[in-house]
Amino acid sequence: MKKVRFISFWLLLIVSITTVVFTSCGKIDDDEAVKPDPSITDSGVIINGVKWATRNVAAPGKFAVNPEDAGMFYQWDFIMAFPATGQVSLWPQTYSTRNTWEKFNDPSPGGWRIPTFEECVGLYDQEKVTNEWTTLNGVNGRRFTDIATGHSIFLPASGYRYGWYGQIYGSGEIGSYWIIPFERIFEFLSPEQSFALILKESDEANLSSWLRKDASSIRCVAD
């Protein structure tokens, strides 16, 4: 009789422990619940008829987490990403000679692409868009705001990596963002140049020739 009671006791104990373990494993705390990765999606905002992403491109196919984050730097028509801080090794000594940014080299997340010259010109329409040099969470940059809707995008002045050596220049003072210019523009540029949106405190903003080997930021628009 004692033996039966002993076995029954251990069976009950095992069942109780198993129940607790399965219950604990099946329960997910709110803090541990799977949450959407903010680097994957961006709802974007409409600025003068164009849907702009609210954050820079980070690693290929991903957005930076916050609007003021630098993301990563890219050379013209290359998908290789470079960090926005620190040193890099094995800096490329060649550059793309193509006058467009091939789709397979575009690091923009799905449904997004690098903006065109015309789309960037739309940011300068003073009747529809205002822009100002400002700071966001301690980061310098330029804010473009749609007058009609109040929607805005902040482009951080993250600097860039100089094309011939790979060092970072102008962090906090300048932002350079690749754009796709008119094909005919290349007739007036050297083979080493393409075009970028350049942001400085001293200028409202401008579209300028830029070394293809420079590694710059990417702020994309809806495809």
pLDDT digits (tens, 9 = 90+) for 192-223: 999 999 999 998 789 999 999 999 999 999 99
Same domain for 124 and 189, yes or no, is yes
Same domain for 165 and 85, yes or no, is yes
Cα–Cα–Cα angle for 128, 134, 140, nearest 5°? 125
Residue 87, domain extent: 45-222
Predicted pLDDT at 39: 72
Same domain for 200 and 113, yes or no, is yes
SS3 label, residue 160: strand
pLDDT digits 0-9 by tens, 165-192: 999 999 999 999 999 999 999 999 999 9
Average model confidence (pLDDT) for the chain?
Answer: 86
Domain-located, residue 81: yes
pTM of the predicted protein model: 0.82
Q: How many domains does the chain have?
A: 2
Same domain for 24 and 101, yes or no, is no
Domain-located, residue 134: yes
Same domain for 11 and 118, yes or no, is no
Same domain for 94 and 200, yes or no, is yes
Domain-located, residue 101: yes
Domain-located, residue 37: no
CB atoms near residue 184 (< 10 Å): 8
Same domain for 157 and 215, yes or no, is yes
The first and second tokens of residue 134, run together, are 């400002």
C-alpha 176/C-alpha 173 separation (Å) is 10
SS3 label, residue 183: helix
Same domain for 49 and 20, yes or no, is no
Same domain for 110 and 14, yes or no, is no
Same domain for 10 and 119, yes or no, is no
Domain-located, residue 193: yes
CB atoms near residue 55 (< 10 Å): 25
Same domain for 163 and 70, yes or no, is yes
Residue burial 136-172, b: 16+ Cβ < 10 Å; e: rest:
eeebbbbbbbbeeeebbbbbbbbbbbbbeebebebbe
Same domain for 13 and 61, yes or no, is no
Domain-located, residue 200: yes
